[in-house]
Amino acid sequence: MTKKESFFVNRLKSVAFAFNGAWLLLKTEPSIKIQVFIGITMTLIGFLVGLSTTEWILQTLTIGIIIALEGLNTAIEEMADFIHPEYHPKIGLIKDLAAGAVFIFALVALIVGGIIYFPKIF
Ligand SMILES: Nc1ncnc2c1ncn2[C@@H]1O[C@H](COP(=O)(O)OP(=O)(O)OP(=O)(O)O)[C@@H](O)[C@H]1O
């Protein structure tokens, strides 16, 4: 196998691993299921109210980023539990920080949603 072929085979394998990770998140993680449900609901509402192109881009980005952050938070939790399954204040801090990062973006998502939908409702 040439170097070029092995590069493309390796990239393909990476995509397959990433796809498997995304599928596992969707299948096993309640927080991801909730975010995906909210994302689908907001997309349907977007069609109902008729979002502009810019609003669609902002809403889709916001939904995607929050789901991706939830996924990273889950990965950090898994790593923390694997490295140190017993109670430890540092593990608590690491998990709280990761959850805090998701929380910050959840607030941003609420603000973005408010800016898009508030003028359409009131
Ligand atoms: N091993 C630990 N040592 C110390 N504190 C912990 C430990 N595990 C969890 N905690 C504390 O409990 C909180 C919740 O942790 P947990 O792993 O249950 O995540 P979670 O927020 O319930 O996430 P999810 O619902 O996605 O599983 C953490 O943010 C942390 O404050």
Per-residue pLDDT of the chain (122 residues), as tens digits, is: 555 669 889 999 999 999 999 999 999 999 999 999 999 999 999 999 999 999 999 999 999 999 999 999 999 999 999 999 999 999 999 999 999 999 999 999 999 999 999 999 88
Q: Which residues are catalytic?
A: 70
Q: CA nearest 68: which of 43, 90, 36?
A: 36
Report pLDDT for 97: 98
Say which amino acid occupies 24. L
Report pLDDT for 16: 97
What residues does each domain of the chain span?
30-121
Report pLDDT for 92: 97
Question: 88 CB contacts (<8 Å, ≥6 apart)?
Answer: none
ipTM of model: 0.89
Please state which architecture CATH assigns to domain 30-121.
Orthogonal Bundle (1.10)
The set of protein residues with a Cβ atom below 6 angstroms from ligand 1 is: 31, 74, 77, 87-88, 91-92, 95-96, 99
pTM score: 0.90
Report pLDDT for 122: 87
Question: 55 CB contacts (<8 Å, ≥6 apart)?
Answer: 46, 116
